[in-house]
């Protein structure tokens, strides 16, 4: 750990901090004077990011509940407090539902849902004891609107939204804050390695181009990090970005059946594969 005076400097843990959204959050929190520990499965990338921004790195697999609890206790002891936990680590699972094996479902649940549960289970008692702290769980727009061709992902992200909002209500009187982040498609390496360690699928291979076709333009990770930290500072329950995502979310709440029809139209468009380069 960097030698910072225990008890005074705010501190944060960012899971999945070695890449993409987590990396940007860790960088921007550190720039605001927060002592950040990034925790990630990818040790090489984690060490690189930690060295680049002067952060602490801890190797961590969020599917390992004991390891998550041990790390959070270690950070709390070293810093004397635990202000923010960003349960952000996640993986992309993509494919037509009939293509997906149970292994796709299991891995989505293990990383995207159990990973968040482990983070909450480890951090919440610490924050209750302190009487303060902010849990920030990363879900997705796929946790708010019907998102076909990524059913295991969509399922876990809806669960993270539900978990976070219910815990927010329960925790409010105890001084602990809970927010959930729902980004639209964002330009990170996630879109280039869908289905990690799992059988590949057609849609998984095309994740980046499908995301561009669905959203028009990918959101920038730097803009998203600013949105998230602004939402955290305002203690927003749901942090939804970009603006097009907020519109889609509003539409889905007002016209749920319309949102399903719009998703069905998108399915039809996505099923029409782009022309093969060898076509004449």
The answer to whether residues 171 and 178 touch, using CB atoms and an 8 Å cutoff, is yes
Contacts with ligand NAD, 212-251, as mask; x by CB under 6 A: ----------------------------------------
| Distance of alpha carbon 187 from the chain centroid | 13
The rounded distance, in Å, linking the Cα atoms of 167 and 147 is 24
The rounded distance, in Å, linking the Cα atoms of 86 and 160 is 13
Active-site residue (options: 153, 185, 219, 249)? 153
C-beta closer to ligand NAD: residue 6 or 266: 266
Burial 8-32 (b: 16+ CB within 10 A, else e): eebbbbbbbbbbbbbbbbbbbbbee
- Tracing tokens 């059913």 back to the chain, one arrives at 151
User: Among 11, 12, 14, 20, which residue interacts with ligand NAD (rule: CB under 6 A)?
Assistant: 20
The answer to whether residues 143 and 155 touch, using CB atoms and an 8 Å cutoff, is no
User: Among 13, 85, 91, 239, which residue interacts with ligand NAD (rule: CB under 6 A)?
Assistant: 91
Q: Does 16 bind ligand NAD (CB under 6 A)?
A: yes
Q: Does 179 bind ligand NAD (CB under 6 A)?
A: no
User: Among 185, 239, 240, 242, which residue interacts with ligand NAD (rule: CB under 6 A)?
Assistant: 185
Q: Does 152 bind ligand NAD (CB under 6 A)?
A: no
The answer to whether residues 191 and 208 touch, using CB atoms and an 8 Å cutoff, is yes
Contact positions vs ligand NAD (CB under 6 A): 15-16, 18-22, 40-42, 45, 60-63, 88-91, 111, 115, 138, 140, 183, 185-186, 188-191
């Amino acid at each position: 750990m960097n030698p910072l005076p225990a008890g005074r400097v705010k501190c944060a843990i960012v899971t999945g901090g070695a890449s993409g959204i987590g990396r940007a959050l860790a960088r921007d929190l550190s720039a605001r004077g927060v002592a950040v520990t990034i925790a990630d499965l990818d040790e090489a990338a984690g060490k690189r990011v930690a060295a680049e921004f002067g952060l602490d790195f801890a190797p961590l697999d969020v599917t390992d509940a004991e390891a998550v609890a041990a790390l959070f206790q270690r950070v709390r002891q070293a810093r004397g407090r635990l202000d923010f936990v960003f349960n952000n680590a996640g993986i992309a699972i993509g494919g037509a539902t009939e293509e997906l094996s149970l292994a796709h479902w299991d891995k989505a649940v293990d990383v995207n849902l159990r990973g968040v549960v482990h983070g909450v289970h480890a951090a919440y008692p610490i924050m209750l004891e302190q009487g303060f702290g902010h849990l920030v769980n990363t879900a997705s727009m796929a946790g708010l609107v019907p998102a076909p061709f990524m059913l295991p992902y969509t399922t876990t992200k809806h669960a993270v939204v539900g978990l976070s909002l219910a815990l927010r209500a329960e925790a409010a009187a105890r001084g602990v804050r809970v927010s959930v982040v729902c980004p639209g498609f964002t330009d990170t390496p996630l879109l280039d390695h869908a289905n990690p360690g799992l059988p590949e699928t057609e849609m998984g291979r095309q994740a980046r181009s499908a995301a561009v076709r669905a959203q028009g333009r990918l959101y920038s990770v730097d803009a998203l990090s600013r949105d998230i930290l602004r939402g955290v500072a305002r203690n927003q329950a749901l942090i939804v970005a970009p603006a097009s995502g907020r519109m889609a979310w509003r539409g889905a709440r007002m016209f749920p059946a319309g949102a399903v029809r719009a998703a069905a139209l998108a399915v039809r468009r996505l099923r029409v594969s782009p022309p093969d380069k060898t076509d004449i």
